[in-house]
Chains A and B, each alone.
Chain A
Amino acid sequence: MFSKILIANRGEIALRIIRACREMGIQCVCIYSDADRGAPYLDLADQAICIGPAPSAKSYLDISRIMSAAEIADVDAIHPGYGFLSENAHFAEVCRSSGISFIGPSPEAIRLLGNKASAREVAGRVGVPMLPGVKDCVESEEQAVEIANGIGYPVIVKAAAGGGGRGMRVAHNEIALVQGYLQARSEAAIAFKDDSVYVEKYLERPRHVEIQMIVDQHGSYVYCGERDCSLQRRHQKLVEEAPSPIMTPDLRKRMGDAALTLAKAAKYTTAGTCEFLVDAKNNFYFMEVNTRIQVEHPVSELVTRTDLIRAQIMAAAGERLPFTQADVEVRGHAIECRINAEDPDNDFRPCPGKITRVFIPGGPGVRWDSHIEAGYTIPPTYDSMVGKLLVFAPDRMQAITRMKRALTELRIEGVKTTTPLHLRIMNDKRFIDGTVHTSYIEKELLGK
């Protein structure tokens, strides 16, 4: 097992990793930028090293500064958290050549599954269901139209190097397709410096259901159930829950097996998530793999009673997973609300600033994963998430009731937060009925 881990991240996930290290008896060192000086979680690590100024490019994204800190702190492993360098194959390689374990998959697995086009290629090869479409990049409007006629409208043109909802255009007919194809290519060229696009079938009102995978280096592949993340705004998840309201044991097994088949083909290890879209008939289609631990991992932890960060660290250290597939049983229901310092009445404008008062919800089945405290100033340089509020209850209705209670108890003053929006969602009839889809928030709840 590792004796000392460097946490190459910040905020709530840095705190989450510190917690796992503490419970495992592993020393941990946290790097931080000028903007995070004085952050309360830094005191909870064994060591904290300032590596640079506020801008991420000179701190949390700066490989040489991070490796310098790893060197002087004499660590044997680095945990990249999520975001930042967590899916950067080059960083994983630098760790490997420095003799430091990267707590994540190999650089080869990151490259293979991290790129959408190559992941789709692998998925196609091993028979993982995908949306009808052509994996190869489209070179002309004529080709796009030919593909669309083959798979049937509506279709979506998507940037191969893309993410975050950019470089995508939906088309319901040929005219829209030609226009959308040209727009997507130019947007992709600007946003990702790579204008390659492909065309696939577009699902109307799909659900986003993802499978949590955890794999060790002894050939043990396990999925820890699914998470339904259909409630999104601008492709950013707002609420996640497990189990998915549309799930059946048979569908879960088929999706879990598909995810693990893909993982095996890529020799994937440690933690990862396989994302799928599910249509109204419960057909599932592979979307992409996130080759890291995710923000919403606690949702799975709650319904399967596992500690995923612990399992991830064990797997990276070459130890066997502390549970088998047979041990993983999805019981009860968990919901997570991502609390962001954004103004829901003003187009979700980020509200960095000083938090003047905090009251944390508690009681049965409530979990709060956050680094904030009263007096903490949210730096403007990073993302706006201030905390994850989770509930666990015996069934979905009780979980919703519990989340309403917890949201009502939560007080974060000094900045605006998205707490009121979450209360609206918890009281929303369609959410309660379990009939939402990925555009529901933007088109229907907020559109009202």
Chain B
Amino acid sequence: MDLDEINRLIELMNKNDLLEVELVEDAKKIRLKKKYDGGMRMMPAMTAPMVASSGQPVQGTATSQPAAQPAGTIAIKSPMVGTFYRAANPEAAHYVEEGDTVGKDTTVCMIEAMKVFNEIKAEMDGVIAAILVENGQSVEYGQPLFLVKPS
């Protein structure tokens, strides 16, 4: 199996929107797995950039590449539609950072919708393994926000 074939496989994966492909040929085996890409689907060419609170245009989740979901982590998913914030206000410290220990009632982020701010709890015990969205990003219901390594 050479680089050309691997590139063709990657092309095929992209074209058909596949996340994972395993190819076995005689004694050779190759497995290609895409980085985890959750969140809203948008056609990048037609999307107007969404403006986050900092004034910087945020291109939505289509371009963000959160870390691939490693084995043994559980995602904290958004329970609502709204705008994701890492802190209670722009001056405050982030609720959590990577590596922080969280408990069921630990506030991990704020999601704002219709001028109402909602504190989102971890609802599990563990350690924050990854933060999947950016401050000020729009999130949808069910979108993975954090990866937690449960304790």
Contacts and interface: CB of A to CB of B under 8 A. Distances in A.
A30 to B, nearest CB: 10
Interface string A40-84: 001100111111110000000000110111011110000000000
Given A42-B41, A46-B43, A48-B40, A64 B113 contact: yes
Contact of A68 (B42, B114, B142): B114
Nearest to A58: B141
Contacts of A74: 48, 50
Interface of B: 40-43, 46-48, 50, 80-83, 113-114, 138, 140-143
Nearest to A53: B141
A53 B80 CA distance: 10
Given A64-B113, A67-B114, A52 B141 contact: yes
Contacts of B43: 46
Contact of B80 (A43, A46, A65): A65
A136 interface: no
Contacts of A47: 40-42, 47
B140 A71 contact: no
Given A49-B40, A68-B113, A74-B50, A34 B142 contact: yes
A27 interface: yes
A58 B76 CA distance: 19
Contacts of B83: 72
Interface of A: 27, 34, 42-43, 46-53, 64-65, 67-69, 71-74
A50 B138 CA distance: 12
A379 to B, nearest CB: 15
A46 B45 CA distance: 10
Contact of B140 (A43, A50, A64): A50
A60 to B, nearest CB: 12
Contact of A46 (B42, B82, B138): B42
A69 B81 contact: yes
A342 B86 CA distance: 48
Contacts of B140: 49-51, 69
A357 B143 CA distance: 31
B82 A72 contact: yes
Contact of B142 (A46, A50, A69, A71): A50
B114 A71 contact: yes
A114 to B, nearest CB: 25
A68 B82 contact: yes
29 contacts: A27-B46, A27-B48, A34-B142, A42-B41, A43-B41, A46-B42, A46-B46, A47-B41, A47-B42, A49-B40, A49-B140, A50-B40, A50-B143, A51-B140, A51-B141, A52-B141, A64-B113, A65-B81, A67-B114, A68-B81, A68-B82, A71-B113, A71-B114, A72-B50, A72-B81, A72-B113, A72-B138, A73-B138, A74-B48
Contacts of A71: 82, 113-114
A182 B130 CA distance: 63
Nearest to B81: A68
User: Which 8 A-B pairs have CB atoms at the shortest separation, nearest pair first?
Assistant: A68-B113, A72-B138, A68-B81, A50-B140, A50-B141, A49-B140, A69-B81, A52-B141
Nearest to B113: A68
Contacts of A69: 81, 140
Nearest to B17: A43
B117 to A, nearest CB: 12
A53 B141 CA distance: 8
A48 B81 CA distance: 12
A313 B33 CA distance: 44
B78 to A, nearest CB: 9
Contacts of B41: 42-43, 47-48
Contacts of A52: 81, 141
A376 to B, nearest CB: 16
A262 to B, nearest CB: 36
Nearest to B41: A48
Contacts of B50: 72, 74
A67 B114 CA distance: 7
Given A51-B140, A67-B114, A72-B138, A46 B81 contact: no
Contacts of A43: 41
Nearest to B43: A46
A53 B113 CA distance: 17
A65 B78 CA distance: 12
A75 B48 CA distance: 11
